[in-house]
Structures are given as structure tokens and as C-alpha cells.
Structure 1
């Protein structure tokens, strides 16, 4: 006989009880845990061994497939040999090596901007930049579907948060009109929103923001490398780069490594290196990581053929899934992300597991991370997926969808 364990009064974990119950109910139904997948071996940008099976990867954000690029790998190996495994210090102390400067040089060249600042993660880039430039008494006007790192940056800076309806230009202008004249204003937008893969109307939104004297920050995490003539993102595609005060990005998507950055033309931007806490009080990226990142960024400047192939993959998969009868988050392919809307979490988990057994990995996204409380199977295409692999993916979706009853 065992004693029943009860949570003590004032249990700090009690706030998570609903999530714990949802997870336990899901696992009790016999579905494999979709958030605890182990890749035993990664074979290429598009394939890995999962549960002992050769699996096509369709949920990695490895948009440009740079993770196994020979030049990128060689740069990392050389830096590891020359500089060791880590910096053991902050960028403002002993943590700036030659590779960090070269990585920032590559970013300045890639974006054609005066300043570039590299962070240890994309999350820290948003956390640091937003919390430092927008403080108490300032206003941050942001899309309600903004990434968690954006919301956390707002909270850390203690600015007044003013959300507006997703991708709605009129709602943005309505909020801006109500902000006191003379107050500090920062409008935060994303080029591509990571859940649905939809693109923001940046041209109109940036114009409205400037009309009311606001600074503009655009997070291009999911569009860098892929969208725009030179892969600079949606701001480039829509012709508003010169009107963006800050562009935030990450190395963990198209660049294929880890890290984050901000680029800007603001003449005072360099002071951020002394006043931005998530930059000052964090150990810098290892030499091998900044070396691989710089090499990847420079190669992305000449990635027009890969970009074209990725667009074809995205259009083919989007149309194919719609033709099969799946509910897709956008009316047409807008990015490398395709969101397949599920009826509910239980059926979404069953569909995720059915696809995994077919040999296909996608992301199961659930509330509260998803907009409007939807459950999604989020697909992230890669420039290294062959046309044949895309057709195989469609066949896998058809078999799994019929087996689970999502499509007839």
C-alpha cells in the first residue's frame, strides 16, 4: 500500500495543473508524446532516424538546408581547432573573438546596414533590444499574434503594451491614434508569423507607423534567407527596409546554427552593447558557432536558386494538401511554413503519430501557443527537399489522414 501524494498548500506548480491534466489525458489515450521525440541520428537537412526509422523531416525550420553544407561544416571545424570550444565570457569582457566581428560584418553586408549586434539566441535578441529601447512610460504597439520572446521583451522593459488585431492595418492605426502625443512609440511586427506561415502587410503597416512618429522593429526570423530578392525578408520584398529602424533575426532557421541578431542604421545603435542586459550579462556564442554562422550568411547571399526551389516546394505541398481535403491556414503558399488545421488536440495528436509511423515528422502545435486556440500540424519545408520527397510527403498525408478520419 502506497501513500497518496498531495500537493502542499501554496504549491507553486498548481498554476500548471490544467496543462498537466491535458498532457496526462492525451498520453493515457495511447498516443506517443509529441513533445519528447528523440532523433537518434540526423542524416541530412531533410532526414533523420527517429524511433529506429528513416524519417523525412518536415518540422525543423531548416529552410535553406545549411546544416550540412560542406563549407559551413569546415568553417566550424577550423574555428574549433583554432579557438577552442567556448569563450567563457560576455561580449563586453573576454567574449568577443575575431569570429564574432566577422559574423557581424557578414550581417552588415547581407542587410546593407550600418550596425549589427549578435546575441546568443534569437529569443535573447528580442528580449534585449525590446526591453532596452522601450521602457517605463513608453508604448509598444504589437500584433496580438506576436512571438513569446516579443511579449517577454515588452514585460522586461516595463513598457505599456498595446496589442492590435492580427495583420490589420486599420486596427494598428486606431491604436496609434490613441497614444499620447510625444510618448515613445515602438511598433513591432513580424515578416512571417510562425504558426500559420502568413505574411504581414508591412508596406502599409510601416507607412502608418511612420505617420504617427513610431519607431519600427520587424522580426524576420522566418523569412530571412528565403523571402526577398536577396533573402533579406519580407521588408525587402515589400520595399520598406529603409523605413525599418530595427530588424531582428535568428541563426536557428535559415542560417542553420544557433544565435540571434539585430541590424540597424540608427546612429546611436552601438550604445546598445553597453546597456542591453541580455547582451552584457550572457556568455557569447562559441567560436565554432559564429564561424559556421558567418559562412552560412555569406552563402545565403548567393542562394537565389535554392530560394526558387523552396518556393516550388511550398506551392506544390500547399496545393497538394488542399486538393486532398485538408484545411490549410492560408489560402495560398505565403512562406515555407504550411499549417494544417486539425479538428482538436486529440485528433491532431493521432494524426501526428500516424504521420510519424509513415516516416514523416511534423510539429504538433496546440493552444495557447496557436492563434484562436487551434490545433495545428505545422510543416516547415526545406530547400533540400527534392520534388520526389514532396510527392512522398503528400502520399503520407493522404494515408494518415484517411486512417485517422481527418479526410475521407
Structure 2
């Protein structure tokens, strides 16, 4: 027995999943060729599970900005900003981000995960209340645990249940902070934010929206679900990431509230983590410019999401969420999900195998996320491969079209 013995069941489960073919949690590409293709085992693979929504990971201007910043400022900061100081790129990125989001203040974290850790653990502490959607991301739950606030879960996307739980808490002291997500990462559904904002106003609570998967995707300017629903004034805090639409890594917290900078002295994930390297700050700065200047990327993303969704529905798959950049197929069992993922990879299409407990209700999913960089022909290729796999596994009753 060792300190690692408690993970034996997890190791056994991982081994069983990997025994069905390739290890779905350890895919190592030979090379990434573009925002939409990679080499795996010497074969070209279509990337349909990257969250690279606007396809900016290979944007020439973003790459040039990162290269120049590395040459001029080095490869890293080697420490946190409170210890090693703030580079000009950090401050410039925060100003640019605040201006884009139409907020007075913004602070940048080294990952999106840490942005939620820092925001939730600091804004709601002992004696306060966090009201979390039941399908919240792991980083939201971890941030809640770090801050010692009382956590109350409400049913997924259910404003009435949120209202009921806030009424129960109305006589208790402490701040009440509601947390929702713009687009939920597993199923691609959106929060009913207008209704939730109404509940927030009624209860005198605060509202934080994690726009990780909706930044650059929703809203006329790409600011996310709050912009699309016309409730930005009701959202007190915006959390997001640079690792989706902006093609890099990092996260942020933004707000209009007075005293915001006190969070820099109290958010431990911000205070005690090395800050973003100059290259990342520079590439994200440029990516925000691209995101603003090229709304056609969002148009292409919407078309691609719609095309994938419609193609799979026509093939006979049942999809629960509205057309969005995230499309997930519910699988009848873990074994079927693993087999589907392996067969699809053999067909040349990379997707995400999502297993419980990380999925809603613990149900196995085959998760896909489209990119604006995908061509119509690539989406057709993906739909054909998914359809053939569905038929091979007996999941579809709609006959295959004659070739």
C-alpha cells in the first residue's frame, strides 16, 4: 500500500477505457497543422473537439505579436505580479479587455480555471452564499470550496428554482452571489439569463456570468450571452478565458464595481501564481482586435454550428441543445461511447469523449466543438463519418444514403 493506492479503482477504470483502443485522455498528435487539422500516427486528422471557436491559434498577426513580445521581453515572468512586478503587456491587456467588455476594471489570471478560483473564493467567503447552477463547471465548484461560502445548487437553467432557493435564504445574513455560464461546455446550451437577472434584482443578489465558451461567440460584438440577451447592466462580474475564442491561455475577471483592485490583494490564485508570459499577453491583445474587427468569424462559426447540427439531425441523431458551436451526442452506455470515439478517430475525426461524473447526470457523451475555420466540406466529412459510425454501432434507424 502507498499513498497512491486510493487511486487504484481510477487506474483500473482508465485501463479498461484504454483497452478498447487508443487512450482517449492521452492522445498525442505528431503535429498540429492548422486550426482544423493535425497529424496522428502519420495520418491527417480533422479536429472537431478543440474549442478553437474563431480559429485564431494560427492567425498570422497573433503569432507575430507573440514572437515579437518574446524577443523583446523574454519567455516568461518567473513569478507573480505582486512579487515580480507587472509587465507593460499585462496592464495593456487589462485596459483593452475592460474597454472591450465595457467595464471599468479587469484583472488577468494565468488560466481560466484560476479566474474562477480567484473570483469565487474571494467574492464569497465564510458567511456568504453561492448559488450555483447544478451543471456548473468544475472550476466553479472548486472556487466555491476554496472560499468556504455556503453553496446552494439550483436546478440547471431553472430561474424558478433559483427564485425559490433565494427566498429560503432571504432571512440569512451574508451576500448572495448567483453564478451562471454563458454556454455550458458539455451540451452547448445557454443560460436563461434575462429571467435570472430578474430573479437577481428581486432578491437583491449579485450575478456572476462565466462567458468562457460564449466570449467571441454570442452577442453582436462578441461579448457573450449577457450582450446577446441585453442584460449586461445586470451582470456584476464577468469571468472568462483566453483559451477558447482568443486562441491562447489565461483568464480574466471584470466588473464595474468600486474597490475592484482590492481583489488583487486578496485573490490567492492571482497573488501566488506566476503571471502570463509576454508572448501570451501580446497574442491575446491582438486576438481581441481580430475578434472586434472581423465579425464575419462569428457568422462563419454560427453557420458551421448550424450545419453540423442539421446534418446530424438529418442522419437521425437526437440532439438536445439548440444549434451552437458545441454539439454533443448522448451515448447509451460508457462502452458504446468509448467504441464510438475510437471508431470515429479511425475514420479520421477527433472528438471529445466525455464521461461521468464530469457530464450532466453522469451520462456518457461524444462532444464536438466547431470552429469558424472549418470549411463546409470538412463538416460534411465529419457528418458522414459520424453517421457511418452511428450505423455501424446500431444507433441509427435512418438508412444510409446511397453513394
Q: TM-score range by the shorter chain?
A: over 0.9
Matched, 1:350 2:339: yes
How much does 1:182 deviate? Answer: 4.1
Matches within 5 A, 1:144-155: 144-155=134-145
Match of 1:184 in 2: 175
Matches within 5 A, 1:117-156: 117-156=107-146
Match of 1:31 in 2: 21
SS for the counterpart of 1:326 is coil
Match of 1:116 in 2: 106
Gaps of 5+ in 2: 398-403
Match of 1:280 in 2: 271
Matched, 1:295 2:281: no
CA contact 2:121–2:146 (8 Å) conserved in 1: yes
Match of 1:77 in 2: 67
Match of 1:226 in 2: 217
Q: TM-score, normalised by structure 1?
A: 0.95
CA contact 1:231–1:301 (8 Å) conserved in 2: yes
Structure 1 CA distance for aligned equivalents of residues 68 and 234 of structure 2: 39
Match of 2:242 in 1: 251
Superposition misfits of 4+ residues, deviation over 4 angstroms: none
Structure 2 CA distance for aligned equivalents of residues 228 and 273 of structure 1: 29
SS for the counterpart of 1:136 is coil
Structure 1 CA distance for aligned equivalents of residues 24 and 14 of structure 2: 10
Structure 2 CA distance for aligned equivalents of residues 336 and 58 of structure 1: 10
How much does 1:25 deviate? Answer: 2.5
Match of 2:378 in 1: 389
SS for the counterpart of 1:163 is strand
Structure 2 CA distance for aligned equivalents of residues 51 and 328 of structure 1: 32
How much does 1:403 deviate? Answer: 2.1
Structure 2 CA distance for aligned equivalents of residues 350 and 250 of structure 1: 32
Q: TM-score, normalised by structure 2?
A: 0.96
CA contact 1:326–1:341 (8 Å) conserved in 2: no
Matched, 1:102 2:92: yes
How much does 1:184 deviate? Answer: 1.1
CA contact 2:127–2:173 (8 Å) conserved in 1: no
How much does 1:14 deviate? Answer: 4.7
Work out which of the residue numbers 255, 260, 268 in structure 1 matches 2:259.
Answer: 268
CA contact 1:95–1:283 (8 Å) conserved in 2: no
How much does 1:19 deviate? Answer: 2.7
**Greater alpha carbon shift after TM alignment, 91-100 vs 59-68:** 91-100
Match of 1:401 in 2: 390
Matched, 1:49 2:39: yes
Q: Count residues with an aligned counterpart.
A: 396
Matched, 1:316 2:317: no
SS for the counterpart of 1:378 is strand
SS for the counterpart of 1:92 is helix
CA contact 2:118–2:143 (8 Å) conserved in 1: yes
Matched, 1:198 2:189: yes
How much does 1:297 deviate? Answer: 1.1
How much does 1:309 deviate? Answer: 1.1
SS for the counterpart of 2:81 is coil
Match of 2:316 in 1: 325
**Greater alpha carbon shift after TM alignment, 293-302 vs 151-160:** 293-302
